[in-house]
Amino acid sequence: MKTPIIEFNDYTFRYDAQSEPTLYNINLTIYKGEKIIIAGPSGCGKSTLISCINGLIPFSFRGQAYGEVKIEGKSTLDMSIAELSKRVGTVLQDSDNQFIGLTVGEDIAFALENDCIPLPEMTERVKGAAQSVGVGDHLSHAPHELSGGQKQRVSLAGVMVDEVPILLFDEPLANLDPATGKSAIELIEQIRKERGVTVLIVEHRLEDALQRGADRIVLMKEGRIIADCSPNELLSSDLLLKTGIREPLYLSALKYAGVSVTPEKKPGNIGEMVIDPEDSQRVRSWVKSIQKSAPKEKKTPIVSLKNVSFAYQNGKEALSGITSEICEGEMLSLVGKNGAGKSTLAKLICGFEKPARGEILLKGEDTAKLSIKQRAEHIGYVMQNPNQMISKTTVKEEVAWGLRLRGYSQEETEDKLNEILKVCGLYPYRNWPIGSLSYGQKKRVTVSSILVLSPEMIILDEPTAGQDFGHYTEIMEFLKNVNSMGVTIMMVTHDMHLMLEYCERALVLSDGKLIADDKPEKILTNSDIIEKAALKETSLYELALKCSLEEPGGFVGSFIEYERSFKGHE
Amino acid sequence: MNNFFNYIDRPSPIHKITGAAKLVCLILWTFAAMTSFDTRFLAAVSILGVILFNVSGISFKDVKAVLIFTFGFMAFSAVMLFLFSPEHGVEIYSTRSVICELPGKYALTKEQLFYQLNVLVKYFATVPVVILFVSTTQPSEFAASLNKIGVSYKIAYSVAIALRYIPDIQREFTDISRANQARGIEMESKKISLVKRLKNSAAILFPLIMSSMDRIQIIACAMELRRFGEKSRRSWYHQRPFALPDWAAMALCGVLLAISFLLFKVNGSRYYNPFI
């Protein structure tokens, strides 16, 4: 017998600061022990939905609500946020800032401290919760000694000390490298099985979230639920494409090949999916039909790294013996797990840090003597969060600022500014206040403010982190355009899709060493590198094996080739 | 990383004393040093402070920034003290032994010099222990100890959170400042005027404040979702019961305070007067 545990009855919510409701007439029942994935593009209301369940709405965020939300049969209005927190545990997206304590143990104990639990009992319960998520040996560690995945586990333990029956995860994969994301999904499944808790995962990376299955997917768009069905049913429909959510890559490939996807084929998971001989045949002939473009000729290097090493003040080596070249006009990515040295390498190239040994050449000349500013004439750096870069109040002022600082005349500034704003599609917004722009537009502003200084190369730190498919495509297509104007682009990223779709080349770092420098499709089909760099095998590879293709590695390349030619025509 | 005012983890007996005991010690110690003007006592307390510093394993290099700041401030206040009340020492010690006459109404007297020496020693007696307290007490233990001596836990915790996020914000500041230098802002160059440099710093502060606001919002939600502020009391994971060393440390500081009071009686006032 299924018992409802979360019920939304005709629920509508509008934030006080907004004129339109964020949620419209939500009717949703979630039963005890279910695992639900809530998907939808940014701004569809999925985070608001989560806030209605954990009590941030109506207790912290003010607004107008109609209808009711019941948790375990009791309206949330009749409870306090504290009472709700004993039923609903929330793991927020940002694992850095929800780490409140100074050590793992203290952070897990936070809720217990607030309940005034005496020390001996607290210590016991903290130990238990830490062990159940695999951080039992790290109780005295500080947050900066932990990896992103470990921090997330600590947050999870911090809500599990309460033995809550409902766990909410807000974009648990957003800040993790692919392999860690995979183990996070596995851990969630394991806890669900052991404790019989109800699990809600908000995530737009559907393919990764579905790795260990789900009972239902609730698809949201513009404040409404537009689908509430099993993964197999949803993936057989065209609703994902219509909503702007990326469908799993293996499904795209099957659809390109003309295979019809039905719920009976169990498309929810590549491992379980049924692919009959006829389908395999279709895939094989599709692959044959894809024409391979000629490899590009070797270009002149813009940055050459010669045996570059770097060590922190405490003597720990962050990079050792990196030798590579970045060529003019390339679009490449720098990947590897957290702490592998990706950001350090980017900072060395920009001159923010100095290498301990080795040389960095810029078009053949040693850069050791160049200041940050001088180097920036050639190489621009775009930080991950646009809010960290924007200092001015309007688009025009922000983009022109670098020019003014460099003492360009009013006329020159105006000319360059207008040119860049047009190229970047920001001209119509030039007088807008920055505050009224979307995240994607702000990102464009920061890229433009660097491009206006006409560097030959730009380095971007996680250009698409936390973005849904729509924004991701917007940002990446924009960068592709910039690249086609001749600007070399290097991106530090966790996103395997980004690397596959947009880069001709990827550098892979692991423990401060360069372990691969190859085409992304080659890297993502090499299990040795995948394991060392905490990457994840692409589902395309698995599909290729299932269809018994002769060259499973080549399949990934062909798929990318096909998608690029097809996107070019759009 | 240059820590301006922060916890530094080292294995030492001082680190092992509980936060609450250290806070009590700090209060007793500074009270003793602040009330007394007995040079001999202050000198002894200063020496004791330096010894404790050594014991703690914190080197002066670790806290260089704060020390430079304090010494700068000390020098400044010494000059101001002389400019505004050049005869204060004479009033206190009721004798006037002029060393040399200075322009205007100013004169250098032995009494004034001695008085200013006392003020200086006072700083030496207190500043190192304050730094010592901050750098040997974990912010959350500090919060727990503030709460133990009666400060509301909400206030105590916000102090701890502020201390805890200082290194993060410093790191972010460095990142933002470098990205802006790359855009052409001069920050470190000595060629530009102070006004311009201040203006440029303001340009970095804006994004720093914006991103700190985002951060605060998230922390506030995370805390609320785990019942912070629900009850009027809370327990502390990092709180430890007082052990022998804690009692010993507090007794020692109590004795210091007692001595300083005793000296009032012996000297007949707060001041030790070598001039009579």
Residue type at A5 in one-letter notation: I
Burial of A456 (0-12, 13-18, 19+ CB in 10 A): middle
Q: Which 215-274 residues of chain B touch chain A by CB within 8 A?
A: 215, 218-231, 233-239
Assigned domain for B8 exists = no
In chain B, alpha helices (H): 13-16, 19-35, 39-56, 64-84, 88-93, 110-136, 139-148, 153-183, 194-224, 244-267
Query: Which residues are CB-contacts of B55 (< 8 A; sequence separation ≥ 6)?
Result: B12, B13, B14
Substitution target from B183, B189, B230 for chain A, most A beta carbons within 10 A: B183
For the segment A261-270, the average pLDDT, to the nearest whole number, is 92
**The pLDDT of residue B2 is above 50:** no
Assigned domain for B232 exists = no
Judged by CB atoms closer than 8 Å, whether chains meet at A372 and B229 is answered as no
The span from the CA of A134 to the CA of B156, in Å, is: 31
The span from the CA of A448 to the CA of A424, in Å, is: 7
**The pLDDT of residue B161 is above 90:** no
Contacts of B185 in chain A (CB under 8 A): 405
Q: Which 167-196 residues of chain B touch chain A by CB within 8 A?
A: 168, 172, 175-176, 178-186
Cα of B167 to nearest chain A Cα, Å: 10
Edge-to-edge strand order for the sheet containing A513-518?
Answer: A379-382, A457-461, A488-492, A331-335, A505-510, A513-518
Contact yes or no for A362/A303 (Cβ under 8 A): yes
> By percentage, how much of chain B surpasses pLDDT 70?
96
Contact yes or no for A438/A468 (Cβ under 8 A): no
**The pLDDT of residue B276 is above 80:** no
**The pLDDT of residue A506 is above 90:** yes
The span from the CA of B142 to the CA of A132, in Å, is: 30
Contact yes or no for A68/A39 (Cβ under 8 A): no
Is B96 found in the same domain as B51? yes
The span from the CA of A319 to the CA of B240, in Å, is: 41
Assigned domain for B275 exists = no
Q: How does pLDDT run across A416-435, given as a tens digit for each residue?
A: 999 889 888 889 988 988 88
- Cβ-Cβ pairs closer than 8 A, A with B, add up to 144
**The pLDDT of residue B1 is above 50:** no
Is B217 found in the same domain as B195? yes
CA-nearest of B22, B12, B8, B5 to B239 is: B22
In the prediction, which pLDDT does A12 show? Answer: 96
**The pLDDT of residue B185 is above 80:** no
Structural tokens at position A77: 């209005």
Q: How does pLDDT run across A17-74, given as a tens digit for each residue?
A: 889 999 999 999 999 999 999 999 888 899 899 999 999 988 988 899 999 999 999 9
Judged by CB atoms closer than 8 Å, whether chains meet at B218 and A111 is answered as no
Substitution target from B173, B227, B231, B240 for chain A, most A beta carbons within 10 A: B227
Please give the residue of chain B at the shortest CA–CA distance from A168.
B225
The span from the CA of A405 to the CA of A409, in Å, is: 11
Strands A216-221 and A35-39: parallel
Contacts of A397 in chain B (CB under 8 A): none
Residue A366 main-chain phi, psi, to 5 deg: -65, 140
Cα of B69 to nearest chain A Cα, Å: 24
Contact yes or no for A81/B224 (Cβ under 8 A): yes
Cα of B52 to nearest chain A Cα, Å: 25
Cα of A386 to nearest chain B Cα, Å: 9
Is B244 found in the same domain as B206? no
Residue type at A320 in one-letter notation: S
Substitution target from B61, B208, B226 for chain A, most A beta carbons within 10 A: B226
Is B83 found in the same domain as B29? yes
Place of tokens 């491992």: A271
Query: Which residues are CB-contacts of A153 (< 8 A; sequence separation ≥ 6)?
Result: A133, A134, A135, A184, A187
Is B94 found in the same domain as B123? yes
CA-nearest of A340, A302, A341, A343 to A324 is: A302
B1, B176, B222 ranked by CB distance to A98: nearest: B222
The span from the CA of A2 to the CA of A31, in Å, is: 6
Place of tokens 């369940």: A53
Contact yes or no for A441/A474 (Cβ under 8 A): no
Task: Give the three-state DSSP class for A199.
Answer: strand
Contact yes or no for B246/B17 (Cβ under 8 A): yes
For the segment A364-372, the average pLDDT, to the nearest whole number, is 87
Judged by CB atoms closer than 8 Å, whether chains meet at A380 and B172 is answered as no
The span from the CA of B127 to the CA of B4, in Å, is: 14
Judged by CB atoms closer than 8 Å, whether chains meet at A114 and B227 is answered as yes
Judged by CB atoms closer than 8 Å, whether chains meet at B237 and A113 is answered as yes
In the prediction, which pLDDT does B226 show? Answer: 92
In the prediction, which pLDDT does B187 show? Answer: 65
Cα of A32 to nearest chain B Cα, Å: 21
Which residues lie across from A359 on neighbouring strands?
A306
| B19 reaches A (C-beta below 8 A) | no
Structural tokens at position A265: 């084929």
B186, B223, B237 ranked by CB distance to A105: nearest: B237
The span from the CA of A268 to the CA of A250, in Å, is: 10
The total number of structural domains in chain B stands at 2
Is B210 found in the same domain as B168? yes
Q: Which 51-70 residues of chain B touch chain A by CB within 8 A?
A: none
**The pLDDT of residue A94 is above 90:** no
Which residues lie across from A216 on neighbouring strands?
A36
Judged by CB atoms closer than 8 Å, whether chains meet at A116 and B186 is answered as no
Contacts of A380 in chain B (CB under 8 A): 182
Cα of A562 to nearest chain B Cα, Å: 38
Place of tokens 């204060």: B88
Is B165 found in the same domain as B64? no
Place of tokens 């994607």: A440
Domain span at B32: 13-137+240-267
Backbone conformation region of residue A339, classed left if phi is above 0, alpha if psi is from -120 to 50, else beta: left
Which residues lie across from A310 on neighbouring strands?
A319
Cα of A462 to nearest chain B Cα, Å: 15
Is B126 found in the same domain as B188? no
Assigned domain for B36 exists = yes
For the segment A334-359, the average pLDDT, to the nearest whole number, is 89
A60, A105, A449 ranked by CB distance to B224: nearest: A60
Residue A45's CB is within 10 A of a number of other CB atoms, namely 23
> By percentage, how much of chain B surpasses pLDDT 90?
25
Assigned domain for B47 exists = yes
Cα of A341 to nearest chain B Cα, Å: 16
Is B76 found in the same domain as B179? no
CA-nearest of A268, A234, A263 to A40 is: A234
- Give me chain A's average pLDDT, please: 90
In the prediction, which pLDDT does A502 show? Answer: 92
Judged by CB atoms closer than 8 Å, whether chains meet at A158 and B226 is answered as yes
Contact yes or no for A525/A541 (Cβ under 8 A): yes
Is B167 found in the same domain as B119? no
Which residues lie across from A510 on neighbouring strands?
A513
Binned at pLDDT 50, 70 and 90, residue A475 comes out as confident
Query: What are all long-range contacts of A46-51, with beta carbons under 8 Å and residues at least 24 apart?
Result: A46/A202, A46/A220, A47/A170, A47/A202, A48/A13, A48/A15, A48/A22, A48/A23, A49/A23, A49/A202, A49/A220, A50/A90, A50/A168, A50/A170, A50/A200, A50/A202
Q: How does pLDDT run across A204-250, given as a tens digit for each residue?
A: 889 999 999 999 999 999 999 999 999 999 999 999 988 888 899 99
Query: Which residues are CB-contacts of A549 (< 8 A; sequence separation ≥ 6)?
Result: A283, A284, A287, A555
Contacts of A112 in chain B (CB under 8 A): 235, 237
Lowest mean pLDDT among A88-92, A320-324, A491-495, B237-241: B237-241
A106, A313, A385 ranked by CB distance to B140: nearest: A106
The span from the CA of A284 to the CA of A555, in Å, is: 9
Structural tokens at position A217: 């997917």
> By percentage, how much of chain A surpasses pLDDT 70?
98
Is B72 found in the same domain as B33? yes
CA-nearest of A544, A502, A495 to A519 is: A502
Query: Which residues are CB-contacts of A395 (< 8 A; sequence separation ≥ 6)?
Result: A421, A426, A429, A430, A431, A432, A434, A437, A445
Is B162 found in the same domain as B119? no
Assigned domain for B3 exists = no
Q: How does pLDDT run across A105-116, given as a tens digit for each residue?
A: 999 999 999 999
Contacts of B207 in chain A (CB under 8 A): 387-391
Contact yes or no for A168/A126 (Cβ under 8 A): no
Q: How many residues does chain A have?
A: 570
Contacts of A453 in chain B (CB under 8 A): 183-184
Higher-confidence residue of A340 and A86: namely A86
A59, A122, A352 ranked by CB distance to B235: nearest: A122
Please give the residue of chain B at the shortest CA–CA distance from A352.
B178
Q: Distances from the Cα of B265 to the Cαs of B27, B37, B125, B260, B261, in angstroms?
A: 22, 13, 21, 9, 7
Q: How does pLDDT run across A309-334, given as a tens digit for each residue?
A: 998 877 778 899 999 999 999 999 99
In the prediction, which pLDDT does A67 show? Answer: 95
Strands A379-382 and A224-229: unpaired
Half-sphere exposure of B17 (CA within 13 A, CB side): 24
Residue A309 main-chain phi, psi, to 5 deg: -130, 155
The span from the CA of B196 to the CA of A172, in Å, is: 44
Contact yes or no for B24/B153 (Cβ under 8 A): no
**The pLDDT of residue A411 is above 80:** yes
Residue A565's CB is within 10 A of a number of other CB atoms, namely 12
In A273-369, alpha helices (H): 277-289, 342-350
B1, B168, B228 ranked by CB distance to A114: nearest: B228
Burial of B17 (0-12, 13-18, 19+ CB in 10 A): buried
Assigned domain for B235 exists = no
Is it true that the peptide bond before A295 is cis, omega within 30 degrees of 0?
no
Residue A27's CB is within 10 A of a number of other CB atoms, namely 12
B140, B179, B236 ranked by CB distance to A383: nearest: B179
Structural tokens at position A202: 């908000």
CA-nearest of A339, A312, A314 to A513 is: A339
Please give the residue of chain A at the shortest CA–CA distance from B154.
A114
Q: How many residues does chain B have?
A: 276
Assigned domain for B191 exists = yes
